[in-house]
């Protein structure tokens, strides 16, 4: 669904004149265009500054291939740097060969965790793996029932204890059940809050300590821009994240937050959510995202 570097940006770059070498002079206009485009895409300012520095260092004094003009060379450098910092690509769930692989989803309320449980279940079912879902979001009143609905739709089991107020105990019991039943994967749907707070962080830390998940993924709402970046930093300080899943990239958002979140957490972007349905989960592709950010 995303194109490579847009025609608009390509033609704006054509204003760069001269041949043979990239210099500060002939690069300035092009880099200004890139900077503006990234800020408009909601990439955070400090990340844009870092990126511009990297590109300038790579480009300065670079002899331009005979077949290219400076603007084409600069486009190539910008594009490949963006792809390099958005990577590496790692859509694997790193399933263990034995015992249940425990996947913990965390994130703010409304970021898309429960929906993503369904999407990951669908993905696993395509590989003939039936996960057990654990309803550990005891904050959002409808979350447990929502997970049961997903379980029924996809024919995957859901573990819940509606009367238990302790999410740590629910996760532990869910994992024990998965172990006893020989499930290959157990996915923990943890609670979020409207904003980061101590209670949330302490709850997640306790779950993390109690069940030692194999993979911890942060689910981030791609429409929330700068807020996503701030919260991602906090989640990453509290838990050792293994990856990020950015949702709601089916809307107008240019997805610049994804670059900032990658920069802040340093962990791979695993998947992007592109809709509300179970099949709307795509393995992350830096090339497509680079084109979208640099429109
Ligand atoms: P949770 O509180 O983190 O569990 O969030 P939910 O899974 O309940 O999702 C919140 C809302 O976002 C729901 O209305 C979902 O249908 C919607 N949603 C989740 N992922 C996506 C996505 O990738 N695209 C769109 N458009 N909506 C999504």
3-state secondary structure the chain: CCCCCCHHHHHHHCCCCCCCECCHHHHHHHHHHHHHHHHHCCCCHHHHHHHHHHHHHHHCCCECCCCCCHHHHHHHHHHHHHHHHHCCCCCCCCCCCCCCEEEEEECCCCCCHHHHHHHHHHHHHHCCCCCEEEEECCCCCCHHHHHHHHHHHHCCCEECCCCCCCHHHHHHHHHHHHHHHCCCEEEEEECCCCCCCHHHHHHHHHHHHHHCCCEEEEEEECCCCHHHHHHHHHHHHHCCCCEEEEECCCCCCCCHHHHHHHHHHCCCEEEEECCCCCCCEEECCHHHHHHHHCC
Distance 117 CA to ligand 1 centre (A): 11
The rounded average pLDDT for each run of 10 residues, N- to C-terminus, in the chain (295 residues) is: 50 59 77 88 89 88 67 83 91 94 97 98 96 96 95 98 95 98 97 92 97 97 84 93 95 85 94 97 92 80
What whole-number distance in Å separates Cα of residue 148 and Cα of residue 159? 9
Q: Is 112 annotated for ligand binding?
A: yes
> Is the bond preceding residue 88 a cis peptide, omega within 30 degrees?
yes
Distance 142 CA to ligand 1 centre (A): 13
Q: Is 50 annotated for ligand binding?
A: no
The whole-number pLDDT of residue 6 equals 58
Comparing CA positions, the residue from 161, 154, 137 lying closest to residue 279 is 154
Query: Using CA positions, which residue lies closest to atom 6 of ligand 1?
Result: 112
Comparing CA positions, the residue from 81, 134, 69, 142 lying closest to residue 105 is 134
What is the predicted ipTM?
0.99
**Does 192 sit in the ligand 1 pocket, CB within 6 Å?**
yes
Ligand 1, residue 111: give the atom nearest the CA. 3
Q: Is 265 annotated for ligand binding?
A: no
Ligand 1, residue 143: give the atom nearest the CA. 4
The whole-number pLDDT of residue 235 equals 96
The whole-number pLDDT of residue 93 equals 97
Query: Which tokens go with 10?
Result: 């390509």
Distance 155 CA to ligand 1 centre (A): 20
pTM of the model: 0.91
Distance 276 CA to ligand 1 centre (A): 6
What whole-number distance in Å separates Cα of residue 217 and Cα of residue 187? 10
71 touches 14 (CB < 8 A): yes
């Amino acid at each position: 669904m995303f194109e490579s570097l847009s025609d608009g940006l390509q033609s704006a770059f054509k204003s760069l004149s001269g041949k043979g070498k990239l210099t500060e002079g002939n690069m300035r206009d092009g880099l200004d265009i890139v900077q503006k485009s990234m800020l408009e895409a909601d990439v955070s300012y400090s990340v844009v500054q870092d990126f511009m520095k990297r590109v300038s260092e790579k480009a300065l004094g670079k002899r331009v291939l005979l077949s290219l003009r400076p603007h084409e060379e600069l486009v190539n450098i910008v594009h490949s740097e963006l792809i390099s910092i958005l990577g590496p690509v790692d859509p694997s769930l790193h399933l263990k060969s034995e015992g249940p692989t425990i996947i913990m989803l965390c994130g703010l309320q409304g970021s898309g965790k429960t929906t993503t449980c369904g999407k990951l279940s669908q993905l696993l079912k395509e590989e003939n793996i039936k996960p057990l879902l654990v309803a550990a979001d005891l904050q959002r009143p409808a979350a447990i029932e929502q997970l049961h609905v997903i379980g029924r739709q996809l024919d995957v089991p859901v573990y819940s204890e509606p009367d238990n107020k302790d999410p740590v105990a629910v996760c532990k019991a869910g994992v024990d059940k998965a172990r006893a039943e020989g499930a290959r994967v157990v996915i923990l749907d943890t609670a979020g809050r409207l904003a980061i707070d101590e209670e949330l962080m302490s709850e997640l830390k306790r779950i993390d300590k109690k069940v030692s998940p194999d993979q911890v993924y942060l689910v981030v709402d791609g429409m929330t821009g700068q807020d996503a970046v701030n919260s991602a930093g906090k989640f990453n300080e509290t838990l050792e994240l293994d990856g990020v899943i950015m949702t709601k990239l089916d809307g107008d958002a240019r997805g610049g937050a994804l670059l900032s979140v990658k920069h802040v957490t340093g962990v791979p972007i695993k998947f992007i959510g592109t809709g509300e349905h179970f099949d709307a989960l795509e393995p992350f592709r830096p090339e497509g995202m680079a084109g979208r950010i640099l429109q």
